[in-house]
Chains A and B, each alone.
Chain A
Amino acid sequence: MIQQGHEVVSAISGEKITVGRKLGEGGQGRVFTGRRPDGTNVAVKWYNDVQATPDQKRGLLHLLKHGRPSGAAGARFVWPIDLVEHQADPCFGYVMDVIDMKRFAELGEVWAGIKPAPSFRAMARISAKAAESYRKLHLDGFCYRDISSGNLLFDPTAGDVLICDNDNVGINGQSTAQVLGTMEYMAPEIVRGEAVPGTKTDLHSLAVLLFQLWIWHHPFHGRMEYDIRSWDLPAKKRVYGETPVFIFDEDDHRNELPDDPEYDTAKLRWSVCPKPLKRMFRRVFIEGVERPEARPMEGEWQKLFRQLEDSVVTCPSDRAENIWDGESSEVVCWHCRQTFPLPPKLIFKQGSSLMLDSTAKLRYRHVQAVDEASGGDQTAGEIVQNPKKPDIWGLKNLTDVSWRMQKQDGTVREVPPGQAATLSHGMNLTFNDGATAYVTS
């Protein structure tokens, strides 16, 4: 086994990497810091002898040949950069980028109180970005095969995402999997032994992960799991594969949540879960367990979560974040239970909307066609308050091109970069690429 101070050699670039201190150790091997000859830092994952198989090496080489998926969505994968070997060790490893573990969190760390819990807005951003990245991976012909909470890292504040442990990624429908996944996240057809991991089964695993992020619970852990005395493999097979019943299925109460404090958090979080998201979860965990083709695609998740991010409204009483459900004319704050009116909305031509809450951000994806490299996530505009007249709000143009504003009375004004368009009911805005939207209260 390699140790601090050893030099490992990159199989492709041929550069020597000096192994630094051990960052961690797990079931598959160890992760060390590493230093390239040019002084840049990397991480080196070194497999233990059980994991360092020819199949694993072949899989890694394929990932290296393909390279990290492109664009902003692909950049979230902590992709292998090079294979590394050591003359005195028959095992091997790979080099990857260093992860800032102060910034990024695992869901388990949030549950354990080690890292802060993300807000609604951050959860929507994390969810949308995760869905977008898995979509990109699938479009490139790969499947992840082991999506779980341990592989998704997120910035609880900004909502950025990293997807790690990509050495299990394989070619959809072709490469053999070293792992079938983690049973909690496996699609029922894999648990039943009727399918192998692929893009369709990834969609189930992604849904379980998203459910855990929002509800802090497993979608099938209800009465059925609670009543099982011996939580062995046959029991797991029954709950996850043979009889998967969604805990919030309104028509099938066999697996509803027991009356036990253990379930209080899941009940509370489900009660404040936005209605469109509840519908999606019901679809994937009720229809989707029987018919894999009924599972929402990554693009559907992405669209939904972007809309949820744009539907965040802040309670004027306690500043708690709420998500407008897209239907009600007012919002009951989940925290203080007070009812408050909706702020004005910006309705885009394609049908989506942005709540013009004081914390809202207009993003490039709203105002122009999204380019793959940036992902359209940068801020294009923000809500500002008139310093002299606080009851007057505006939308500040943070792009480098002028917008066009037309008031309800027909007057037209240009909104140059750095300036704000005063918001009024009925006004129309024309953005960068000709995208249009109107304000409604």
Chain B
Amino acid sequence: MSHVERGTFTKGVYAAASEIGASHIAQGMPCQDACKTGEGRGWFPYTIVAVADGHGDQRHDLSDIGAATAVEVAVRELSNSWHHYKLYRKSFHDFFCYDAGRRIVRAWRQAITHCAETAGVTARPGRSVYERYGTTVQVAMWANGYVLMAKVGDGEMRFSSDGISLQNPFVAPSDLDSQTTHSLAMKDASRVWQTAVYPEPAPGGYVFVSTDGLSNSFPTDQDYNAYVQQLYNVVETHGLEAVSRSWPSWFSSYTHAGSGDDITAGMICFGLGEDERGKQHDSART
């Protein structure tokens, strides 16, 4: 199953897409990734792209729901907080860096508690019920001249201020091996909320975010970075709408040839997509 969302905002275009992994298809499992976008128009516009990667093994058997809840909650909490803080740039940045992690983790747990109680799901002995829904979450937001990025857990984010250079704002935790990730289900999840804030890039700049299903399809970080740069070149030529329409099939080929994992990616491009402006936010499930 594929899921694509895309839209335009005052400074450019954005899109996100999820594609089920080859190994999940083979095992009859659902896609445990999720993505969601959000935007606000008017005097105080903003754009949010959120992606999540459910952990997906037997201990986290409901992580597809956990991931879908995570992106839902992240977009909602950030949208609501933007309405509260939109007149105060520093206050919003402080909220994003110091509070948003705690508030998103808490809202996710409340939603999961409700979901579990409704479905009669119980915790395994000695574990929390949240573990069954374990997931990462990554968000990229544009608002009031800044790009704000944050994450709990693995996955990759890249920022380009000019369409040429590429920065990875986040360092991988040293307390985890490559097979382990931080999770919204951890009791200390709000403390592992990593953030980065950049001034809005010039036209041609962009933000790219993906779950590790995509980055693990490449042998090295350099290969992944090269892919992101090439992808942006294609977006520049053909537009993000056309490219994001193709993402499910591209991601499907990557997962079959590469990681086997679900793949989700999102992008916010600045100064692109003039022709797409004015179109309504478009969400399609195929």
Closest to B98 in A: A184
B173→A265 contact, CB < 8 A: no
C-beta contact mask, A65-100 vs B, less than 8 Å → 1, else 0?
Answer: 000000000000000000000000000000000000
Q: Is A262 an interface residue (CB 8 A)?
A: yes
Interface with B: A225-233, A320-328, A417-425, which one? A225-233
How many Å lie between the Cα of A108 and that of B191 in the bound state?
7
Q: Is B187 an interface residue (CB 8 A)?
A: yes
Given contacts A111-B192, A262-B190, contact A182 B106 (CB under 8 A): no
Interface size on B, residues (CB 8 A): 41
Q: Is B161 an interface residue (CB 8 A)?
A: yes
Q: Is B223 an interface residue (CB 8 A)?
A: no
Closest to B106 in A: A262
A25's contact among B81, B174, B198, by CB below 8 Å, is which?
B198
Closest to B176 in A: A113
A233→B88 contact, CB < 8 A: yes
CB neighbours of B91 from chain A (8 A): 183, 233
Q: Is B11 an interface residue (CB 8 A)?
A: no
How many Å lie between the Cα of A183 and that of B99 in the bound state?
11
B197→A26 contact, CB < 8 A: yes
CB neighbours of A115 from chain B (8 A): 174
- Whole-angstrom distance between the Cβ of A27 and the nearest chain B Cβ: 5
A25-81, CB < 8 A from B: 25-27, 29, 48
C-beta contact mask, B158-194 vs A, less than 8 Å → 1, else 0?
Answer: 0001000101000111111000001000011011111
Closest to B190 in A: A262
Q: Is B128 an interface residue (CB 8 A)?
A: yes
B187's contact among A29, A179, A261, by CB below 8 Å, is which?
A261
Closest to A109 in B: B171
Q: Is A12 an interface residue (CB 8 A)?
A: no
A180-236, CB < 8 A from B: 182-184, 216, 221, 226, 230-233
B199→A184 contact, CB < 8 A: no
A27's contact among B90, B128, B175, B194, by CB below 8 Å, is which?
B90
Closest to B202 in A: A1
A114's contact among B171, B193, B197, B198, by CB below 8 Å, is which?
B171
Q: Is B80 an interface residue (CB 8 A)?
A: yes
CB neighbours of B173 from chain A (8 A): 112-114
CB neighbours of B192 from chain A (8 A): 111-113
CB neighbours of A226 from chain B (8 A): 106
A216→B191 contact, CB < 8 A: yes
Given contacts A27-B197, A230-B80, A231-B99, contact A113 B187 (CB under 8 A): no
CB neighbours of A113 from chain B (8 A): 173-176, 182, 192
- Whole-angstrom distance between the Cβ of A368 and the nearest chain B Cβ: 39
Q: Is A372 an interface residue (CB 8 A)?
A: no
A108's contact among B85, B172, B194, by CB below 8 Å, is which?
B194
CB neighbours of A232 from chain B (8 A): 81, 84-85
C-beta contact mask, A10-22 vs B, less than 8 Å → 1, else 0?
Answer: 0000000000001
- Whole-angstrom distance between the Cβ of A332 and the nearest chain B Cβ: 24
CB neighbours of A179 from chain B (8 A): 90
CB neighbours of B128 from chain A (8 A): 261
Q: Is B3 an interface residue (CB 8 A)?
A: no
A233→B85 contact, CB < 8 A: yes
- Whole-angstrom distance between the Cβ of A237 and the nearest chain B Cβ: 11
Q: Is B103 an interface residue (CB 8 A)?
A: yes
Given contacts A183-B94, A231-B99, contact A48 B199 (CB under 8 A): yes
Q: Is B218 an interface residue (CB 8 A)?
A: no
- Whole-angstrom distance between the Cβ of B273 and the nearest chain A Cβ: 24
Q: Is A116 an interface residue (CB 8 A)?
A: yes
A265's contact among B80, B81, B84, B188, by CB below 8 Å, is which?
B188
CB neighbours of A116 from chain B (8 A): 174-175
How many Å lie between the Cα of A27 and that of B147 in the bound state?
9
Closest to A179 in B: B90
Q: Is B105 an interface residue (CB 8 A)?
A: yes
How many Å lie between the Cα of A373 and that of B109 in the bound state?
52
- Whole-angstrom distance between the Cβ of B18 and the nearest chain A Cβ: 26
A112→B84 contact, CB < 8 A: no
B95→A231 contact, CB < 8 A: yes
Q: Is A264 an interface residue (CB 8 A)?
A: yes
How many Å lie between the Cα of A399 and that of B73 in the bound state?
60
A225-264, CB < 8 A from B: 226, 230-233, 261-262, 264
- Whole-angstrom distance between the Cβ of B176 and the nearest chain A Cβ: 6
B90→A25 contact, CB < 8 A: no
B84's contact among A109, A221, A230, by CB below 8 Å, is which?
A230
A112's contact among B103, B187, B191, by CB below 8 Å, is which?
B191
CB neighbours of B6 from chain A (8 A): none
How many Å lie between the Cα of A233 and that of B91 in the bound state?
8
A27→B93 contact, CB < 8 A: yes
Q: Is B224 an interface residue (CB 8 A)?
A: no
Given contacts A48-B199, A233-B91, contact A182 B190 (CB under 8 A): no
- Whole-angstrom distance between the Cβ of B180 and the nearest chain A Cβ: 10
- Whole-angstrom distance between the Cβ of B252 and the nearest chain A Cβ: 33
Q: What 8 pairs across the A-B complex have the smallest Cβ distances?
A: A232-B84, A113-B173, A113-B175, A111-B191, A261-B187, A112-B192, A25-B198, A114-B171
Query: What would 18 more interface pairs be, CB under 8 Å, given A113-B182, A231-B84, A231-B95?
Result: A25-B198, A27-B89, A27-B197, A109-B171, A112-B192, A112-B194, A113-B173, A113-B174, A114-B173, A114-B174, A150-B97, A179-B90, A182-B94, A231-B99, A231-B103, A233-B85, A233-B88, A262-B106
